Structure 1
Amino acid sequence: MAAIEADLFAHGLPVEALMEKAALAITAALLSAPSRLKQGVTVLVGPGHNGGDALVVARELHQAGIPVRFWSPFERHKPLTARHLEYALWLGIERLSAAPDPAEDNLWIDGLFGIGQSRPLDPSIEVLLEQRQRRRPGRLVAIDGPSGLCADSGQLLGRVAACAQTTYTLGLIKQGLVQDTALAWVGELRRLDLGLPKGCWKRCRPNSPWAWLPPTGTGPRPPSWGRSGPSTAADDCCWCAAASATAAPSNWPCWGPVPAVAAASGPPCPR
């Protein structure tokens, strides 16, 4: 996905445009399940573009009438993210001065770090995410991938990661998110379509998990695992943590074999 994004940017697509497309897709998915938003949301905002995505989601939910506040414990942000942060404050969205209470009942949206993360989380953030899962399991969703989890290998980068009820992966399924070691942290995996140009798909290797899905509008969609009802254009893929990658049905529309997944290892399942 990083290579596809680099190609798009090199040919003139503004970073801002892709960020808006991603965040609007996430917002639509969240608003489609209003019961989860009744208590409001707390958005965890990182310093990079994952944090920018999160701030656009915060903006859109706020404008839809959802009570929103955000927490970003970082002094510096990438320029685009900093501009979104400034605008969120101008709109009147509350910025928390201290870490949110892990026992609160509202929905947490993890936008701390995205698929490019390579270092362990700060220990204080690890403790916060661990306490959140212990006190309010199932009340956190992740943008693109849970913070603290490598999207390439599916391994923890530190001691723990964000434990998501749902992970909204953007554009393409990331290889690490379907490894056995990652499933308990990822939760229900939903791929959100970004309307990428058809030429982008030529970069997908045939035996990669992100090639399991055809471009939107071309061919059948897979069954929707972990939820009721058929898949839709806005919900191209739904993966349940209870299902292993090796359990993909024989009629799955893919270009090549389902990749082998890593043996489960690491800390006990957080669920």
Structure 2
Amino acid sequence: MGRASKGRAIAAVTPAVILVRPQLGENIGMAARAMLNCGLSTLRLVAPRDGWPNDKAQRAASGADIVLEKAEVFDTVADAVADLGRVIATTARNRELSQRILTPRQAAGEMHGWIGQGERVGILFGPERTGLTNDDMVHADTALSIPLNPQFSSLNMAQAVLLIAYEWTAWTDDTPAQRMSDHSARPADKEELANLFAHLERALDQSGFLRHEAMRPAMVNNLRALLQRATMTEQEVRTFHGVIKFLSKSKHEE
């Protein structure tokens, strides 16, 4: 079996995903889809059972065609990793080999560091039924194990690719931990909140709700704090103004 293409170049800023003896075309396609979701595009296949290219992989990729089109095929793991400086092997079992075993998150950080230093990096994933053998593992300098339920840690190959690829992309992701949805109006500023509270306070005074002078300061502060915590948008502030105006009008008409 020869390589699918003559080029041996790996993308300069991402690791290569190496699927060793994959058994199902569907899993190759789903792995490609997971890769592209996370910005990876270099796929290498070692002795795929059903040959290559594979129609089932194409269908399962759901549009990740660029990954499959660039995929290279190798006869052996040794051939697939020959041009790489660093290789991480995924494993779910304890081995007889003495290797560093990293979590996906730690591995992501180290891969970014290695690639930043100009090294080429690859990640080995074993076949669906058996995983990587010791003969496969010896081609790696580092092992990776995903911490899962010790009573049931079996993962589909594509699931494993997605988990590790996600950690790779999340390492440098700067998405805020919390944000408003894209279709929402902008957050209200403090002046808009102050005007809203002033409107609310006037309406509460007119309704007699704040008639107890001794309790008024605490009630006012609690309501003001409530509005601050609400993280309202400017559209919500306008709506709230309309609610207060309507309720005040309805009260006067009684």
Q: TM-score under structure 2 normalisation?
A: 0.28
Q: Kindly indicate whether structure 1 or structure 2 has the higher relative contact order, using CA contacts under 8 Å at least 6 residues apart.
A: 2
Higher-Rg member (1/2): 2
Q: Which has the larger helix fraction?
A: 2
